[in-house]
Structure 1
Amino acid sequence: MTNLNLAEQLKFDLHMHSTASDGALSPAELVEQAAENSIRCLALTDHDTLAGLKEAQIAADRLGIRFIPGVELTCLWNKRTLHLLGLGIDPDYEGWRDYESRLQVLREKRAEVIATKLRAKRAPEDILERARKFAGCGQIGRPHFAKALVEAGFVSSENEAFDRYLGQGKTGDVKAEWPEVSESIAIVQESGGFAILAHPTKYNMTFSRLRLLLSSLSEAGMDGFEVAYPGISQDYIRLMLKQAEALDLKVSSGSDFHNPAHHWTGLGRFPKVDSPRHLIHQFYTDMPLRA
């Protein structure tokens, strides 16, 4: 295991998004900006798609950056929506094709329902077409509807769009029949990756409920969880590290970067955690730079 000092820890980011899903930068632009921010190891983890991985890998190879193929899968635990990171996956694993296609259908059906609900709130009739335009070739999601609502003059900002129409519990917060988390864990691991629960404190759970979630997912075979990301407090980080010890799980960190215009996060910006359980040690050891 590689022991990283703090200076080295500053040079990785294991959670970020590109235009392949709901990010603002193309995969290549994302890697280039990461390089400008002195990040030397990164994972691209777009929502429910591997479409950006090849482009990002090429850019990373050109810039001398360790690249970790990843994905962020939407899934269900006890009918509650969760996000599961797959880190270090093999994008060529044959099972991904059918799994991605299934998620694409679910996202399209969900987008149609969101559009119907927004139109019922007097949003423009072409709100779905506007959202698809912003999604481009990527997976369509609520951030694209937020942009569409701003473009249509229905709201003044994307934040307002989420606060009034798209945020948790609002009209556009449409649930879908996502795969069960056990299935998501399985495909990540079958493709050679680590199954990591994304931002565990952002599911609006009490800490007792969160401990139950982590224990349940550990029993289901999950490899670990994110312990450091924007918005988590140092007190919670300490509590989460104790849970990792108790359940013998790995931990990860990342910015969940989407857009340079979002000031609450930035590439490589998240609390620093020094733990032998951190996946970055394994990635530095097992994934050497490609020529």
Structure 2
Amino acid sequence: MVNALTNADLHCHSVVSDGTLTPEALAERAKANGVELWALTDHDEIDGQARALAAARAQGMGYLTGTEISVTFAQQTVHIVGLGFDADNTALAEGLRRTRGGRRERAMEMSDDLAKVGIQGAYEGALKYVGNPELISRTHFARYLVESGVCQETAEVFRKYLTEGKPGYVPHRWARLQDAVQWITDAGGMAVIAHPARYGFTPNEEYALFTEFKAHGGRGVEVVTGSHSSQEAVRYAETALEFGLAASRGSDFHSPTESRIDLGTLPLLPGQLTPVWELLADRIQ
């Protein structure tokens, strides 16, 4: 039975998008770290869901279907996590397919931009780290730049390259917020704003994000996540209460050597919040 004290990790990535472990290896790692309820949330992709469900069952964990959808809001990329949806929903699958479109062209522009500052062959180098070529991303480029000795670690890559105003940055127009929330809810799932502290919005922009998100049917926000400090967790616990949103918890784990937080090792949610998994109890498999 799930409750507020459940060790739930509802945000992580596999080789199906930009993680380095298979769904099976992630499930094994999550179980070893005490996770009781798990979700694989690959970027703009649900092809790993059947494997993740089978792996969770093999490990004796509860499972919620998951994905992380990239949207453009206030000229920035925002991530919306979907949980507990029907993984066979065709409208969701088609929406994600359209969202993935254009990543190859964007990646080649990134490579050309890096070549102008003396970093050659970045596109081909990044492809070595891609499990799914449709989902080539900045993370794959970052791993190549570390491998080739341009930077010591992926965090350094993002300080010097691939972000706005730096070499290799190419914006991409993602889905609309309304579209992402609708795809998830129409497939029977719950839409959750991922790691809101990461976006650097002004107070007015953030208020607009939460207001519009809820108006479109969004129902949750990540409060405890590998991207949040303890102070930010307190702040977004208050935001969840203010907007009447359920709270989610997820490590955003990508790799044993890159991620700040391991699967299943986050603090528990503050007790006054409603966990998303309590509202999705009938969707847990």
Deviates most, 57-66 or 273-282: 273-282
Asked if 1 retains the 8 angstrom alpha-carbon contact of 2:253 and 2:259, the reply is no
Whether 1:22 and 2:21 are equivalent positions in the alignment is no
Return the offset for 1:168: 4.7
- Compared with structure 1, are the counterparts of its residues 153 and 87 closer, same or farther at alpha carbon in structure 2 (3 Å cutoff)? same
Q: Which residue of 1 aligns with 2:277?
A: 280
- Which segment drifts farther, 28-37 or 96-105? 96-105
Q: TM-score, normalised by structure 2?
A: 0.91
> Given the superposition, is the C-alpha separation of residues 250 and 236 from structure 1 closer, same or farther in structure 2, using an over 3 Å criterion?
same
Gaps of 5+ in 2: none
Q: Identical aligned pairs, as a percentage?
A: 31
Which residue is equivalent to 2:107? 111
| Shift in CA distance, 231/132, structure 1 to aligned 2, threshold 3 Å | closer
Is residue 75–residue 82 contact of structure 1 (8 Å, CA) maintained in 2?
yes
Q: After the TM superposition, which parts of structure 1 deviate over 4 Å for at least 4 consecutive aligned residues?
A: none
Matched, 1:201 2:197: yes
Letter paired with 1:185? V
Query: What is aligned with 1:135?
Result: 130
Q: 8 Å contact 1:20–1:52 — kept in the other structure? A: yes
- Match of 2:3? 4
- Counterpart-to-counterpart distance in 1, 2:64 and 2:78: 22
**Contact preservation (8 Å) 1:84, 1:198:** yes
- Post-superposition shift, 1:208? 4.4
In structure 2, the CA distance between the partners of 1:158 and 1:102, relative to structure 1 (3 Å rule), is: same
TM-score (norm 1): 0.90
SS at 2:15 equivalent: coil
Q: Deviations over 1:64-99 (max 9, x none)?
A: 111111000001113221000001111100113322
Q: Give 1:191-230 correspondences, 5 Å limit.
A: 191-230=187-226
CA distance in 2, matches of 1:182, 1:272: 30
Would the aligned equivalents of 2:71 and 2:77 in 1 still touch at CA under 8 Å? Answer: yes
Supply the AA of the counterpart residue of 2:122: I
Native 8 Å contact 2:38 2:63 kept in 1: yes
- Relative to 1, partners in 2 of residues 1:85 and 1:115: Cα closer, same or farther, differing over 3 Å? same
Cα deviation digits, residues 168-207 of structure 1 (max 9, x gap): 5422232111111111111011111101110011101234
- Taking structure 1 as reference, are residues 214 and 178 closer, same or farther at Cα in structure 2, changes over 3 Å only? same
Structure 2 CA distance for partners of 1:263 and 1:256, relative to 1, 3 Å: closer
Residue 257 of structure 1: aligned partner: 253
Distance in 2 (CA, whole Å) between partners of 1:247 and 1:163 is: 33
**Contact 1:106–1:178 (Cα < 8 Å) also in 2:** no
Say yes or no: does 1:39 pair with 2:35.
yes
User: Matches of residues 178-193 of structure 1 in structure 2 within 5 Å?
Assistant: 178-193=174-189
Partners of 1:5 and 1:162 in 2: CA distance:
35
The yes-or-no answer on 1:158 pairing with 2:157 is no
Show the 5 A alignment for 1:91-110.
91-110=87-106
Name the SS of the counterpart of 1:253 in structure 2. Answer: strand
Spell out the pairing of 1:41-60 with structure 2 (5 A cutoff): 41-60=37-56
Rounded to whole Å, the distance in 2 between the matches of 1:155 and 1:49 is: 29
Q: Pick closer, same or farther for the CA change 1:101–1:4 going to 2, 3 Å.
A: closer
Whether contact under 8 Å (1:230, 1:269) holds in the other structure is no
Q: Using the TM superposition, give the Cα deviation of residue 61 of structure 1 relative to its aligned residue in structure 2, in angstroms.
A: 1.4
Q: Is the 8 A contact 1:230 1:271 kept in 2?
A: no
Summarize the Cα distance change of 1:230–1:31 in structure 2 as closer, same or farther, 3 Å threshold: same
Counterparts of 1:55 and 1:130, CA distance in 2: 28
- Please tell me the root mean square deviation across aligned C-alpha atoms, in Å: 2.0
The counterpart of 1:69, out of the listed 65, 72, 83, is 65
Seen in structure 2, the aligned counterparts of structure 1 residues 168 and 28 have a Cα distance that, compared at 3 Å, is farther
**Deviation digits for residues 189-233 of structure 1, max 9, x if unmatched?**
111110111001110123443223212222222112111112424
Number of residue-to-residue matches in the alignment:
283
Give ranges in structure 1 of 5+ residues lacking alignment. Answer: none
CA distance in 2 between counterparts of 1:155 and 1:246 reads 42
